[in-house]
Structure 1
Amino acid sequence: MAAACAAPGSTFSKQLLFLLLVLVLLCNACQKVSLQVPSHLKAEKPIGKVNLEECLKSPSLILSSDPAFRILEDGTIYATHDLLLSSEKRGFSILLSDSQGQEQKKLEIVLSAREKKAFRKRHTKEPVHKRSKRRWAPIPCSLMENSLGPFPQHVQRIQSDFSQNYSIFYSISGPGVDKEPFNLFYIEKDTGDIYCTRSIDREEYDQFMVYGYATTADGYAPEYPLPLLFKVEDDNDNAPYFETKLTVFSVPENCRYGTSVGQVTAIDKDEPGTLHTRLKYKILQQIPDHPKHFTVHPDTGVITTTTPLLDREKCDTYKLVMEVRDMGGQPFGLFTTGTITISLEDENDNSPCFTQSSYFAEVDENRIDVEILRMMVQDQDLPNTPHSKAVYKILQGNENGNFKITTDPNTNEGVLCVVKPLNYEVSRQVTLQISVLNEAQFTNAANTQPPTMCTATVTVKIKDRDEGPECLPPVKVIQSKDGLPAGQQLLGYKAMDPETSSGEGLRYKMVGDEDNWFEINESTGDLRTVKVLDRESKFVKNNQYNISVVAMDSVGRSCTGTLVVLLEDFNDHPPQIDKDITICQQEKDYAVLEPVDLDGPDNGPPFQFLLDNSSSKLWTLESQDGKRAILRQRHNLNYNYYSVPIQIQDRHGFSAKHVLSVRVCDCTIPSECRMAIEERDVKPNVILGKWAILAMVLGSALLLCILFTCFCVTTTKRTVKKCFPDDVAQQNLIVSNTEGPGEEVTEANIRLPTQTVNICDTSTSVGTLGGQGIKTQQNFEMVKGGYTLESNKGGGHHTLESSKGGVLGAADTGRYAYTDWQTFTQPRLGEKVYLCGQAEEHKHCDDYVRSYNYEGKGSMAGSVGCCSDRQEEEGLEFLDHLEPKFRTLAKTCVKK
């Protein structure tokens, strides 16, 4: 039917017409129906009705070939828009199809416009006939609910004016006829009388919209379908009932007059807005019934209080038996009763009260954290709520804080405890006044009395106990001077026996003296120094030295006190400084001096720094903020150890002289400096004792004897071809892992190379030892820590002489100490190791030490030094084939 409403010419309309044409060819046509209709058809107005069941029983699909018309399921035909029919007839088809689509029928409909009747002109003398009212019109009709009959009961008659000229048959359709509820109404076909077959429940069906039809014997419908509205009149057949079966309200106790408690609601299924649903509420009974506390508004059902005397402690729950009645509360109205429960909410309108007005308790003196009393209270408010939970407070008698009272959460009792010891000698009895209130604030209801605070008196008796001596105060402070010598007397700690109020008969013992500074007099407790008192001692904290003293009576009872010796600072410590300083030339040319003064701030900085005149040529000393100083080089010095005498004074001029050991090194941070410790032996201004001088004289005499022996056993001079590499050590065996200062070798026959180029001479000896040549088979390289002393720094060779400068100033150019050799080799070895680690192309790979690697020429001795992979006792067979002058040295190298 929705498709019939589509506009002509639309795509859907074309598809529908095509479908109709196909179905027309497949279906059988039914009998053609002709209808006379007005020439002007209005939209959505019925124009006639056809019996579709005569063509096809129970059609499921009803379609119109003309979209200007729409057909309902009952066969009623409607125009979808206003139409004006011409004198010619207009026809269309109705296509019917069953649910399975196996049978289709087509019903031809022909519409013809009615001919207008010709009216004759009325003559003035002819009598005028009045037009009677048409009978085919909606007639108001009502049915009584729950009618008693008899049934079938006549409802109404419909008549058509065309029944005077034609045989008219009447029919109806709609709810109650061919829709739910079925067969409630029927119509006599010939007379048009409509009947009702049974009683009706208005609460189920309040009205029925039924359509009446008038048709001729050939199916022509001269009348439009007639809408008939059958309204069912309400009968008061439903009693009202409360919406909730169990209703519970709550209201605070002591509430004001007119306080709203709640609203009850009832439901009546009869017709709204009528007397049948006009409800009235009423309280039938109150339980308990006296006094009357509640009322209900008869129309709204709102329950309110009538008195301010609701007391939960007297009655906590009320029940109201209520009635709701329709018909405006008239006696003949229907009614229902129900029960409403009202519970009262607790308010703190009752103050707690002690069960006793006075209490008594006993406690031993000096007892703490002990329970001495429990106090019970009564409260009529709801238990286990803030309205009844008690809060206790000590009002008087606890000025010293000896007592504390708390609430037991389980019993609501007040628990009185002693938290600070009581002294029988001071007071033998204490009287306390204790009050109690609730956690919640007291209510301010109009009908309640102002709250009253309940109080009780507690008398606490203190029992005497002989507790021994008392150390009061527990900490005593005495003052003393810093540097107080031994043997001096100081006032000690004093205790007292509370029984006698004196210290007689007490004995004292010192149990805490960390550095054993004092001894104590057992009878008086006075102290005597056994050491010099030093404020700068590690046992002194914040100028205080603590001593623990125990005082005992004759039976062994004791107490312990602390004696604090407060030391006054004395300027007895000059500023101190670290005497070992390292200056890294690559980072900076100065060092920061930060002295420390063990004395207090009054005897400390600002410091004054003074430099010795002998060091002012090489160094400068600048003071910084009175706490630090900067020691700076006047010009770049050689890498070596230097002694710098300085003097540091505190603010009062107390000073001390210091000789700084300054190490000038080729490094970036002090920890990278590899300068040997043995170099410290070469220090100017070193004063030797007489025993050191004697040892040096004896050592020199012994050295001369050894040298004389060597001259006697020298071999014949032999000339061989000898090639010396740069910086050779000339067969000197040097221990590279020594951890102590080495001996200075100044023998003239042991020399360092004086040229930087390799020398290959077959006619002369390289060095002499007792005037004889030294036979050698291969080049000898000095080994230091597993690396050779060859160095290529800056593209050229440097000898030891060139690196020394003029610092040492040796008397003979051929005499060099071991420290000179180490000073020469150390920076070059460090540079060589750094280059070996940095070269990506391994340009210096020939300088790596390889275990048992062939080094260009065989050697009887193999690797010598710490780099050898052989064990300590292995590989020494070559010592049996050495020259005679080396055998003595070889014997000293063999572990015994």
Structure 2
Amino acid sequence: MEKFAVDIKKLVQTKREDDSRKNYFFIGMTHFQPKYSPSSLLLKSSKASFELQITNERLKRPSLSLTKTEIGYFVVDPANLSDSVLTGRKTFVNPPEYLKGRLFSPDIHYTVYQAHTGDLTVRPTCKPGFSEEDYTASVSPNIAEGQKLLKVKFNGCVGNKGVRYETNNLDFKVRTDGTVYAAHPVHTPSKQTMFVVTAWDHQTLERWETMVRLLVGDKSQHSGHKQKGKKNASADLIQQQSDTLLPWRQHQNSNGLRRQKRDWVIPPINVPENSRGPFPQQLVRIRSDKDSEIHIRYSITGVGADQPPMEVFSIDPVSGRMYVTRPMDREERASYHLRAHAVDMNGNKVENPIDLYIYVIDMNDNRPEFINQVYNGSVDEGSKPGTYVMTVTANDADDSTTANGMVRYRIVTQTPQSPSQNMFTINSETGDIVTVAAGLDREKVQQYIVIVQATDMEGNLNYGLSNTATAIITVTDVNDNPPEFTTSTYSGEVPENRVEVVVANLTVMDRDQPHSPNWNAVYRIISGDPSGHFTIRTDPITNEGMVTVVKAVDYEMNRAFMLTVMVSNQAPLASGIQMSFQSTAGVTISVTDVNEAPYFPTNQKLIRLEEGVPTGTVLTTFSAVDPDRFMQQAVRYSKLSDPANWLNINATNGQITTAAVLDRESAYIKNNVYEATFLAADNGIPPASGTGTLQIYLIDINDNVPELLPKEAQICEKPNLNVINITAADADIDPNVGPFVFELPSVPSAVRKNWTITRLNGDYAQLSLRIMYLEAGVYDVPITVTDSGNPPLYKTSIIKVKVCPCDENGDCTTIGAVAAAGLGTGAIIAILICIIILLTMVLLFVVWMKRREKERHTKQLLIDPEDDVRDNILKYDEEGGGEEDQDYDLSQLQQPETMDHVLNKAAGVRRVDERPVGAEPQYPIRPVIPHPGDIGDFINEGLRAADNDPTAPPYDSLLVFDYEGSGSTAGSVSSLNSSSSGDQDYDYLNDWGPRFKKLADMYGGGEED
């Protein structure tokens, strides 16, 4: 008997090629497969210690005795044994659902019973299927035809007869023994090729599938390939009995040792999440068998080592022991892909890098989470069991391929529990809520509140984590209640001739949902109204039926109506629901008599007669009818509209007579029709009246003479140039109009002598000169026009013809046009004389203006050059005087010989006391003593200019000033006289400056002495 001690926190996996006696022992998630069949196996954990006494010598009933244990999970896999008996004195419980058939050999189905104090029997039952869920093999890029790749194992329980294999890849086939081979030469450029192998039983038609993964490498060696030789067997044994991986192996050939790279695929390393340590925690040891020859340093690279997240895994560079440094979280990252490297002390590569796959084993550390906390659904009332309502969904962050992430649903509570406490059920896997019982009635229960629980671990309430959500299920209304009248009979009253009047209101009762198609009432009249006088409209608020008159009723025709009405809904009744007898009712409507207006049976009445009938002629009788047969009333007539006042109507019998002669050509006639409106009124209470229209079609008679057109025309003196087109207009209509006859009267005789008429057609003729030349002027030409009426009418009209000389184009010339307008030679001469007189007056005015301007230029003041030293020039027509401080240099007086440029100035008057605006010319210096003759002439000329100029300043004339007030020494200017000089002292004038020097000399008398 041998004993093996195994720490169950580690995953120990060894490979056995040729041992057909396989015994698997499982605790939790750890399994162990010994090379030999031990008689005793000791399994240890931090909480329990298990020692199994095993006897395995191909006995049918081996005995497994438990010597020491505690409550926990314990499963035995007696491979190749038909039965096993486990004896012990401890109590065991069923393993969780996720352990069943998942972590064990897939060809064995385990039936585990709850143990009790005493013996526990485990009886395996066979389940057909592949031994592995997937197979992996390494192959070269180029695969030869018929090359074996790997072998899949299928257990049919009763043998594999009748089992056939096939693949979904035409490049590969499977033999009956499970060998997978290449159907033809295959080139695989990708790093990995995957396909599915299917086993199917042609008798039962059952199918099973497994996945085959081909990894492309330098050499192909599938994982199931059996190695022969003692060396390899010894290496397997060493690797199986330790936690050391030898990914780099050697084998002996005729030439000695030779390296074989990656002889087999390294199995994944499984690490449970949420481990409590202690950390770092060893996972596996990696070593090369060359470490006995040289010193080797190991390292790992990849995500989790030297790439973020950093330093999750580490490796001892000397021993090759690989560690995890902290707890793992599968929901954060489920797997890691690392590469292991082996180099010598100089950093030279000793081995090719190998791939390490680390999978984080999921633990149940996440609760299911509903997508919504409240779900809203609906179901029709009266639905059958199994009717779908809604779907609730919860997600679990744990691995969905394990029980940790497998969510199951159940209904916890239902409120209200009417009519049954289990009205709904839920599909535990999909979350679909369906009805499970009949009896849903919205009129009793309108809404259900269902609490749904989602539990992982496939719904195991003992080990799974749970969460809840609320499902609100609304029972929707169906039309399962027909509307019913509240009473069987209704009545109403309506006056005759009234429309849009509500006669009666029909009330109904409906238990369905208000204001829905199942509740909204629709009323129909079944009988009693063949003429369609009534309709029933639905009040959208109260759902009442309003019987409304849409076509006026007549008391004289029907005094009452008996209606039969039916009510239904907008939506049809639900299946199986019949219409109630209370959905039909009777309505009695009474018609009341009112005074109706008289009416004209023929409205509009049309009569035809010739125009011009004499006054007092009876045209027709336009009478009205009173519809009130049961009332004794009189009808009287009157005119309502008679635009031309041509008609009279008899007030008692409606006889129409003419009040004037009817004229078809009147402006009141439209399209030969005259229209008048009459009123017929009864003497009822209140009185009523009606109107009627009489249309008179007037037939035309020949009562209008034709009128000549045009009234005026123009023609050339010579007849060969043009003619005048004439026509006629007649107010009558056909046949009392054209064709017209145009004639020249015989008197006066000059008409036919000078003119002639040529007929063109029935409506037009041409007037032209008969003689070769006619003097220009305006001529009145009489023309007689006769129509074609019976009897015919004619009229002689005058056309004014203007005869004028014409140019070569036949157009009147200007002179000719004037002459033709009626202007004689005398008129033309008078016009010319007027024009000449007007031009003469304009010329005289211009000459006068030129002379006046010349006189203004010749006016000069006689001023002594010695005295003319004024600094300012004052304009005395400005009462305020001149501007002060004007530095004005008065030019010296020139001799008459030098003033020619002034006298020759353009029209206009220039004042001699004003300085010229333009540049002053330079004049020769005058002699000190001027020539007496020149000065005298100059003074005389200046005096004449000053005398004739009313605006001249007071240099050489006496000015009369108004009274300036009491402030003056002299009362007025007129008081100045020369009778006495004793009281007159004018010396102060010398102080007034040069401008008053002349005045001071005149009155001072100094120079006169």
TM-score interval w.r.t. the shorter chain? Answer: 0.5 to 0.7
Q: State the Cα deviation string for residues 178-207 of structure 1 (Å, max 9, x = none).
A: 655555444445533334444322222323
RMSD over aligned CA atoms reads 5.3
Distance 1:426 1:205, change over 3 A: closer
- Work out the CA distance in 1 between the residues paired with 2:660 and 2:283: 136
5+ long unaligned stretches in structure 1 = 1-81, 83-118, 123-127, 683-726, 735-779, 789-847, 859-896
Is the counterpart of residue 519 in structure 1 residue 652 in structure 2? no
Aligned AA for 2:699? D
2:629 paired with 1:629: no
Superposition pairs for residues 222-261 of structure 1, below 5 Å? 222-223=350-351, 227-250=355-378, 260-261=388-389
Please tell me the residue identity of whatever aligns with 2:506: M
| Residue number among 781, 796, 799 corresponding to 1:643 in the alignment | 781
1:581-592 matched pairs, under 5 angstroms: 581-583=711-713, 589-591=723-725
User: What CA deviation, in whole Å up to 9, does each residue of 1:454-499 have, x standing for no partner?
Assistant: 444332223345x376344483636363333223345544345666
- Cα distance change on mapping 1:642 and 1:237 into 2, 3 Å: same
The letter for the 1-side match of 2:404 is: H
Deviations 1:248-294 (A, max 9, x none): 23456677886654443332222243343344444455555546665
1:553 to 683, 704, 712: 683
2:504 equivalent among 366, 369, 373? 373
Q: Structure 2 CA distance, aligned partners of 1:355 and 1:650?
A: 85
Q: How does 1:773-784 map to 2 (within 5 A)?
A: 780-782=829-831
Contact 1:136 1:160 in 2 (8 A): no
Alignment of 1:313-392 (within 5 A): 313=443, 315-329=445-459, 332-346=463-477, 351-367=482-498, 370-392=501-523
Task: Indicate yes or no: 2:549 matched with 1:414.
Answer: no
Using the TM superposition, give the Cα deviation of residue 347 of structure 1 relative to its aligned residue in structure 2, in angstroms.
5.2
User: Matched residues in 2 for 1:525 and 1:673: separation?
Assistant: 70
Aligned residue among 544, 562, 567 for 2:692? 562
Letter in 1 for 2:398: D
- Corresponding pairs, count: 574
1:571 aligned onto 2:701: yes
Amino acid in structure 1 at the alignment position of 2:333 = Y
Distance 1:560 1:132, change over 3 A: closer
Distance 1:425 1:179, change over 3 A: closer
2:336 to 190, 205, 208: 208
Deviation at 1:225, TM superposition (A): 5.3
Stretch moving more, 192-201 or 413-422:
413-422
Percent sequence identity is 29
In structure 1, the residue matched to 2:273 is 145
Contact 1:511 1:549 in 2 (8 A): yes
**C-alpha distance in 2, partners of 1:477/1:669?**
60
Map 1:444-459 → 2, pairs under 5 A: 446-449=575-578, 454-459=583-588
Q: Offset at 1:349?
A: 5.8
How many angstroms does 1:244 deviate by? 2.9
Residue among 596, 605, 619 paired with 2:757: 619
C-alpha distance in 2 between matches for 1:424 and 1:147: 101
Offset of residue 531 of structure 1: 2.0
1:639-678 Cα offsets, whole Å, 9 max, x none, are 74553534443475644335252645889999x9999999
Match for 1:271 among 399, 408, 432? 399
Q: 1:329 to 1:558 in 2, by over 3 A?
A: closer
In the alignment, which residue of structure 1 is the partner of 2:562? 431
- 580 and 273 in structure 1: CA distance in 2 versus 1, 3 angstrom threshold: same
Q: Tell me if 1:593 matches 2:721.
A: no
Residue in 1 that maps onto 2:84: none
Q: Structure 2: which amino acid aligns with 1:629?
A: Y
Q: Does 1:609 align with 2:744?
A: no
Q: Kindly tell me: are residues 216 and 581 of structure 1, through their superposed partners in 2, closer, same or farther at Cα, counting changes over 3 Å?
A: same
Q: Provide the rounded CA distance (Å) in 1 between the counterparts of 2:409 and 2:364.
A: 18
Secondary structure of 2:760's match?
A: strand
CA distance in 1 between counterparts of 2:629 and 2:665 reads: 42
In the TM superposition, 1:53-68 aligns within 5 A as none
Distance 1:326 1:849 in 2: 128
SS of 2:644's equivalent in the other structure is: coil
CA distance in 2, matches of 1:487, 1:555: 35
Instruction: Indicate conservation of the 8 Å contact 1:579/1:658, yes or no.
Output: no
| Alpha carbons of structure 1 residues 656 and 397: separation in structure 2 relative to 1, 3 Å | farther
- Cα distance in 1, alignment partners of residues 683 and 356 from structure 2: 124
Aligned-partner residue type, residue 623 of structure 1? N
| Distance in 1 separating the partners of 2:437 and 2:624 | 74
The answer to whether the Cα contact below 8 Å between 1:517 and 1:529 also exists between their aligned partners in 2 is yes
CA distance in 2, matches of 1:493, 1:538: 25
Match of 1:264, as an amino acid? V
Q: Distance in 1 between matches of 2:636 and 2:374?
A: 86
Are residues 649 and 355 of structure 1, via their aligned partners in 2, closer, same or farther at CA, if it must alter by over 3 Å?
farther
* CA distance in structure 2 between the aligned counterparts of 1:320 and 1:349, rounded to whole angstroms: 25
Alpha carbons of structure 1 residues 650 and 138: separation in structure 2 relative to 1, 3 Å: same
Give the partner amino acid of 2:487: Q
Task: Give distance in 1, aligned partners of 2:678 and 2:815.
Answer: 52
**Distance of aligned partners of 1:580 and 1:295 in 2 relative to their CA distance in 1, 3 Å threshold:** same
Contact 1:153 1:195 in 2 (8 A): yes
Q: Which residue of 1 aligns with 2:49?
A: none
Mapping 1:621-700, distance limit 5 Å: 621-623=759-761, 628-631=763-766, 633=768, 640-650=778-788, 654-659=792-797, 661=799, 663=801
Query: Shift of residue 564 of structure 1?
Result: 1.0
CA contact (8 A) 2:451 2:470 kept: yes
Distance, in Å, in 2 between the alignment partners of 1:330 and 1:135 is 44
1:89 equivalent in structure 2: none
TM-score (normalizing by structure 1): 0.52
CA distance in 2, matches of 1:498, 1:120: 135
Residue 461 of structure 1: aligned partner: 590
Amino acid corresponding to residue 783 of structure 2 in structure 1:
P
Distance 2:439 2:705 in 1: 91
- The structure with the largest alpha-carbon Rg is 2
User: Does the Cα contact within 8 Å between 1:146 and 1:235 map onto a contact in 2?
Assistant: yes
Give the direction of change, closer, same or farther, for the CA distance of 1:641–1:404 in structure 2 (3 Å limit): farther
Report the CA distance between 1:361 and its aligned residue. 1.8
Partners of 2:548 and 2:646 in 1: CA distance: 44
How many Å separate the matches in 1 of 2:503 and 2:393?
Answer: 60
Alpha carbons of structure 1 residues 613 and 729: separation in structure 2 relative to 1, 3 Å: closer
Q: Specify whether residues 521 and 178 from structure 1 end up closer, same or farther in structure 2 by C-alpha distance, changes over 3 A only.
A: closer
- Greater relative CO, 1 or 2 (CA 8 Å, sep 6+): 1
Contact 1:574 1:654 in 2 (8 A): no
Deviation at 1:408, TM superposition (A): 3.7
Supply the AA of the counterpart residue of 1:269: A
The verdict on how the C-alpha distance between 1:199 and 1:524 changes in structure 2, with shifts beyond 3 A counting, is closer
Is the partner of 1:460 in helix, strand or coil? strand
**Matched residue, 1:822:** none
One-letter code of the match for 2:727? Answer: L
- Give the residue type in structure 2 aligned to 1:530: A
Kindly provide the amino acid, as one letter, of the partner of residue 659 in structure 1.
S
SS for the counterpart of 1:782 is helix
Q: CA deviation at 1:507?
A: 4.2
